[in-house]
Structure 1
């Protein structure tokens, strides 16, 4: 069974069949493997109209040969008049005047000419277009090609007489991807099948080959998330179908430029030490060689991600020493243009610890403010844990990046590494204290002491002043000194334009203080000012959770139910990213419980209270947070859940904490690191959870926990 027979492209076939009778030209243009020929054959098999078919060959650059092949294809449907055959022998310059109109008059309802890209720039290609323009109403010329280079269709397009289908039309739909994978005999759940289709961007041949590579594997579900363009089936396809047809200089360009996420003439010229990259990129994009424009105005491009993976693997195979040098040149190019994030990524990919350290020290805070912590954390992963942690300056800054990326284990490891080394100067010592205050391994009291020590090195206007002030304000508020806390928040809030993330948290603190004083107008004003500072990238940061929650409270008070639900959703997303900051999870969960209780949602309020208690368990000292929790549980109408376990199937607080992490993809070792426990302790607690919930597997425990309302 061929790939074309595995999955019918019903939506695409319907669209092809629906082309109006007065539209003579139908173009299917996409890179190799998008199923152009398959779609046309399925259309021909399912449509009642007559189809004639020609697959172009290199020899068809001879216009006489091409027209004779077209005539023979038409002749398989109905006879071609002798006069038409005689006209095909006319000189090439006269074919368009007589032979083409005669062929057009005898054409079937659909004439397919596939692989027209092989005729690029030849008289044969021009005759194909002339044939389309000569067709009578009711007949179509359907062309399959990898590019439309050399096909001047602007006139027909402007007249509405050309229907065009590109990669976006030929991509696999969700249902088609699931059906194609299953048809190969590969057993994948729908979630993994759809994930594979997303990563391959709906490229049919890629999804098919990936499914074949997984067929028969006992670990197919796990392996589905790890299939890349470097896998044997895919890399062989790219080498044979794409690279083999390209000159050596183009292949060299493709391999070396694959080190870049975003391609432009300038960066490619600099990194590859050549000229004319912009023109070459434009040509590759026009030819649909798995190169697509990102921003036409800025002339930037990107490779299809799977194609890029193959190119990188091929580069490492052919030129194993080339990649680090290419990344170093890219880092230099981006740094000179003040593009910090790609500069950090390329410096780390080059293994250049010194350059990475310099860039993170200089730009780390700014990247966090721009919502770019996640990509920078990924770059630091590439540098290697040992390289990050061996330099106290880098460890102290990387800890912040990891924390804002929601990576608890890595942030804690950076703090441990930084604490174990002597700081070379007061600035670095303050950075370590600031990270310790943020992660609060010593609880609220330790947070206050660390924040005070960090504050000694900061002055108004210094890059970390706002962050230090907001941490100090939070810690003082947790120890009951609301006067000092609001003063610190006010100072941090004044830096909003330049340091938006800490200023937004400070304004949220002022908004909550005003709400506690029943000053609704001031609370709403502070809340909106806080939200205005958060850009798209930083709205999901953990530090944004208090902003979303206080805005939800305002929406509740004003009766805006839609905004209330949306803001609670944003708060839930930010809460997940707040896990490296246990004090923030505790405080935000207490606020969330209060807000949902006020909204009459006792179930949501109880769940938030459980989460608050679990976060409090991670703090060695809790300050006023413990008092707030006790007041909350009293209002919820039950005894302290931390002691009784009422309504929790008898699970202890520690067991509930483990249960909350079972729906994640974390291993037992990772759960142990997240909770700062030994693996054996976590293993014992998981066993207790299974026993009390009458579950024999992790999945069953999650299902039972959800049925009991212990999990969302």
Structure 2
């Protein structure tokens, strides 16, 4: 097998070249370890093979063992004694199984199975049309198996399995276990097959797996054995269910899920998912989709956790979005209809919340999340132990649902609970990311920074940071960078996530962060086009809070482009959140509708720094427009205090420049993105008078009476005013005038 001709395995050659006294290669038969050793030995003049003919060990140099796992205890002691000499001596070896070599040698052994990337490279060099991930899944990284697939031109799963069945088969009683890729050791013991299993391991046809808790077949030996025997479907079904049960008892949920899927046992699959939690979904999504993706919907209706898991997996790929929505919808219905004990109610309401949130149905899962939190908190300790493997995952997702429902305090509590309950690194990453995101949304930049720093105490792989698990942290980092005017760093964080904006549920927050960068870098107009394109692609079916967020973002972009009139109007509903209400108040201020502005501002109650700052700035603008400069200065002073304490700047961007020029706000050095002065001709004194009159009334006759001129004169001057302000209506003219500072005092 001339693997080096087709595949660069420099990492393994470097392992053998290293100055370490002991180094070895471990892998099933056909992984290329002996070939690599032989090629390496050809470059070592002092290398000597030992063990085949009992020759004496050399005084110095390198000893190579073809099969270190076959050495007797006496031979191992001889080699160890030889290594203990002060002379310059090194050992290089190959072995079929890590468990078969002395423990002191195991840390120096490198696996020879191919990575998925190496499998893809080999397929490309053979011009194979097969999917690399599928080939890697079925061949388990065995080089000889991948080459068999390539040479047979196999592309489908059935063809790949047929190609793998052309190797050496295993005979004897153990052959009936070939239907199980992993055989629990307890089953081997019960069936009296442990000795046969050990012989297979010595021959390189299998390996001990899961800490010697199971025997994993070589893919070639497994499929060759299956194709050469009469298969009994009922017996295979029995073996798969038994193996699944044994793996569940041994706390091996993924292996249990695989065996249960082969047996068609959705009850055991559901149990494995509950035992394994989200790591099964995020770590083995492809395999689960391969095993269970074609199960009919009618069979899934009794298993809401399984429906949810499949929905999340399918939702990660845009081309499977419709299937994901179907599965998540079934998960919601199944959760509502399933028989419920007290412990189940909490879990199923959590499932319902996640399903509604991801499908953006109803209220986005907010009420279900609130109910699930109450149920979880009320569970007695014994009941909570039943869902212990899942509780940290459930708390995390409840935190996300509460975030999108606008309950940031509740979300913070769930993220903290998840961190406290979870022991897995990804729970830590998502919990810290959620806490950072909550503080960023509240507008507390120092607290956001603290949680970001806490998250980066650990070194996270970039493939986790830049995927779903790290998305909340990345968005929080972008929002922090925007507030600090570090647009380069903010763009880097956004760019890291942008490839998944078509599938990630946090797309609305990601789009808002990008909009703020576009506004801060004077790219509002192309930013508005890009934002609308993303919003159109992701569809209009979004939860209420996300819809508010998107509307607010579009308003900011419109204001920054100078399109004040189109940015002014919102239709408020009873469920509209404070963010949208404040933007409606902004529109009222810009139109000069002070009564509506005061009505809205008076009804908004919030302790979130970002919203408090926005409310104070709009209050100052309303006072200033009414000629109440002292009151405006007082509100501006409070606003400056909030901005400084929480290191906020973006809310000031959308404030009229005349407000930012009030003494308390001047030291912040922020310039409004709203248009400051009209382009073209300045307004005449008479046009300014007409402008002020239009703030009070739209009635031409009333204005004419007050100014003692004819109605036609007022109409002519109003027309000239509209032309200079580039407005087509009274509201648009007043909005532009306020934004430009033409109605100061």
* 2: CA distance, partners of 1:173 / 1:397: 29
The CA deviation at 1:545 is 2.0
* 1: CA distance, partners of 2:520 / 2:237: 57
Equivalent residue in structure 1 for 2:234, among 309, 314, 321 = 321
Equivalent residue in structure 1 for 2:127, among 187, 209, 213 = 187
1:248 paired with 2:172, answer yes
Cα distance change, pair 171–211 in 1 and its aligned pair in 2 (3 A): same
1:336 paired with 2:249, answer yes
Q: 1:188-227 residue pairs with structure 2 within 5 A?
A: 188=128, 200=139, 203-214=142-153, 223=155
1:237 paired with 2:167, answer yes
**Other-structure match for 1:669:** none
Q: 1:584-663 residue pairs with structure 2 within 5 A?
A: 584-594=506-516, 610-619=533-542, 623-634=547-558, 637=561
**Other-structure match for 2:92:** 164
**Other-structure match for 1:652:** none
**Other-structure match for 1:551:** 477
Cα distance change, pair 612–175 in 1 and its aligned pair in 2 (3 A): closer
Tell me if the contact between 1:340 and 1:359 (Cα under 8 Å) persists in the aligned partners. yes
1:460 paired with 2:385, answer no
1:403 paired with 2:312, answer yes
Normalising by structure 1, what TM-score? 0.55
Equivalent residue in structure 2 for 1:489, among 411, 415, 425 = 411
1:447 paired with 2:364, answer yes
Number of equivalenced pairs: 517
* 2: CA distance, partners of 1:194 / 1:378: 9
Q: 1:359-438 residue pairs with structure 2 within 5 A?
A: 360=273, 363=274, 367-368=277-278, 370=279, 372-373=281-282, 375=284, 378-379=287-288, 382=291, 389-390=298-299, 392-395=301-304, 398-400=307-309, 402-403=311-312, 406-407=315-316, 408-417=321-330, 423=337, 427=345, 430=349, 433-438=352-357
Cα distance change, pair 251–591 in 1 and its aligned pair in 2 (3 A): same
The CA deviation at 1:605 is 9.8
1:289 paired with 2:204, answer yes
Equivalent residue in structure 1 for 2:445, among 497, 514, 520 = 520
* 2: CA distance, partners of 1:391 / 1:181: 36
Equivalent residue in structure 1 for 2:191, among 274, 283, 304 = 274
Q: Which has the higher contact order (CA 8 A, sep 6+)?
A: 1
The CA deviation at 1:163 is 4.2
Tell me if the contact between 1:281 and 1:301 (Cα under 8 Å) persists in the aligned partners. no
The CA deviation at 1:549 is 1.3
The CA deviation at 1:403 is 1.8
* 1: CA distance, partners of 2:398 / 2:133: 46
Q: 1:569-588 residue pairs with structure 2 within 5 A?
A: 571-572=497-498, 578=504, 581=505, 584-588=506-510
The CA deviation at 1:156 is 3.7
* 2: CA distance, partners of 1:417 / 1:175: 36
Unaligned runs of 5+ in 2: 96-109, 380-386, 567-745
Cα deviations across residues 604-625 of structure 1 (Å, max 9, x unaligned)? 9986774345325343865312
Q: Secondary structure at the match of 1:439?
A: helix
Cα distance change, pair 129–161 in 1 and its aligned pair in 2 (3 A): farther
The CA deviation at 1:413 is 1.9
Tell me if the contact between 1:28 and 1:142 (Cα under 8 Å) persists in the aligned partners. no
Cα distance change, pair 323–638 in 1 and its aligned pair in 2 (3 A): farther
Tell me if the contact between 1:593 and 1:606 (Cα under 8 Å) persists in the aligned partners. no
Cα deviations across residues 507-558 of structure 1 (Å, max 9, x unaligned)? 7666446445653212223555678999989867747522321034446767
* 2: CA distance, partners of 1:490 / 1:15: 48
* 2: CA distance, partners of 1:111 / 1:194: 39
Q: Secondary structure at the match of 1:495?
A: helix
**Other-structure match for 1:688:** none
Equivalent residue in structure 1 for 2:185, among 256, 265, 269 = 265
Q: Secondary structure at the match of 2:151?
A: helix
The CA deviation at 1:367 is 0.1
Cα deviations across residues 152-180 of structure 1 (Å, max 9, x unaligned)? 43344444545425375977899998998
Cα distance change, pair 638–331 in 1 and its aligned pair in 2 (3 A): farther
The CA deviation at 1:438 is 1.4
Tell me if the contact between 1:451 and 1:468 (Cα under 8 Å) persists in the aligned partners. no
The CA deviation at 1:301 is 5.9
Tell me if the contact between 2:247 and 2:256 (Cα under 8 Å) persists in the aligned partners. yes
Cα distance change, pair 280–633 in 1 and its aligned pair in 2 (3 A): farther
C-alpha RMSD of the superposition = 5.9
* 2: CA distance, partners of 1:305 / 1:591: 49
Cα distance change, pair 211–502 in 1 and its aligned pair in 2 (3 A): closer
Cα distance change, pair 494–518 in 1 and its aligned pair in 2 (3 A): closer
* 2: CA distance, partners of 1:433 / 1:175: 37
The CA deviation at 1:238 is 2.6
Q: Secondary structure at the match of 2:92?
A: strand
* 2: CA distance, partners of 1:423 / 1:630: 40
The CA deviation at 1:213 is 0.5
The CA deviation at 1:460 is 2.7
Cα deviations across residues 14-54 of structure 1 (Å, max 9, x unaligned)? 9999999xx9x99999754455786788789x9899xxxxx
Cα distance change, pair 387–555 in 1 and its aligned pair in 2 (3 A): same
* 2: CA distance, partners of 1:503 / 1:201: 30
Cα deviations across residues 428-466 of structure 1 (Å, max 9, x unaligned)? 984675245313444xx6426764895698463457884
Unaligned runs of 5+ in 1: 50-108, 117-124, 215-219, 478-484, 643-712
